Structure 1
């Protein structure tokens, strides 16, 4: 009887451990390395412009019928010695067992010194019909779930008879440049990467936005600066600007957040209005 009780106790303990391992944890440590999910955002396919404008097909961009999960992580070495990490250790697994690896999958390993911290932006392209998914970190015999999610419906699918975002920036409400400046400089701190659009030459990491009304209108044939700003905020990876700080190439895929998940229609209009007026003496 005692032996049976011990066996039941052990089996129950193993079941609890398995159940706990299957629960998503935002921060996980394995083999001395610590991974933390900072942000996870689903990106939709770019808007359909018909024959008017053809957006460039970027390497790694989701294809027709696919969705892209953009995940921002931080990697920290909590051990006393150096450790290695490879993007292929992260895998997106469906309920039926099908798996997808990061678009940026690299065979080379990243060596991390003790107390070293790395930003780790990764993305996964999966079918829109993939269903329930879990982001797993598989490291040797260890396996941990970092995130549980599922692909969203199309960006242009109707909900309650209305689209979340209209096709054209012209359909947005009238914007306030002053309110947009507050969003840019304070709430979303866009100035941290882009610098102030009102000061020529002040660019830090991302493309300069000084004189955006003119530069934005020249980005894609047939697209206004307002529309270019609108689609860049909704789909940062649809078009990569030709140059960033110091005329260095901009990183692809884009590290810019998808602001369609955070902005209201009025705030979107305010931000675009500010960008169009900045550097031209408008309030």
Structure 2
């Protein structure tokens, strides 16, 4: 038979339990504090100080592409302009040196990171050379990051040596004219096309000739842009873009480019009737149709 516990033994047991409970509560409080500090460290801060310099994010803006408005036939080819399909994030920064000694700042310390893939973009606008910020001096910096198509969260970070700070979390806005996801960016990534099969699509099921006429008859009746000599004319519409790529992007995004002439009556209007072929064609059919547009004679 187990003897009953006396009062002192019961008191010792109670005190031990109480200390265990207090210890667990303290550990939970410390863990919660650590999580709070970690969460704070991962939250964007528009103003921060690293290695002797203080930086403030004043403004961040995604610039429009000309094709957002559907009112241009030729994209600008100015030096430094984003490549077709890219969007530019422009950020305005203030750099301040609060210390008594000069400190160097390099625009390349700023980077835009894809949170899903880890891809990084350094500034493509605003220079890359380091400059010195004197004590108590304030410098304004404008940088641009050109970003290809992505749906991931993008993180603007500032890194100096081993220190790093998150300034902004954002997403690349979708161009209203961008086609459905799943299509490759380049026409060369499609399967090899068959012009004869493309001709059957053009004159048959898709009835493209109803609006565009017969590519073999430049003067034929049509209400949309002419497609005669498309292999030559299409290659002149956008600087650096082939006729096949121009056709591909136009089929995916009917409003991406506005042809300069319709039925001899001046620039074409914003299209409202052309189907979204990216939602109805297979990659092989897309390749066949483009092959016919670029090489109509082989489709006879």
Q: TM-score, normalised by structure 2?
A: 0.46
Higher helix share: 2
Structure number with larger C-alpha Rg: 2
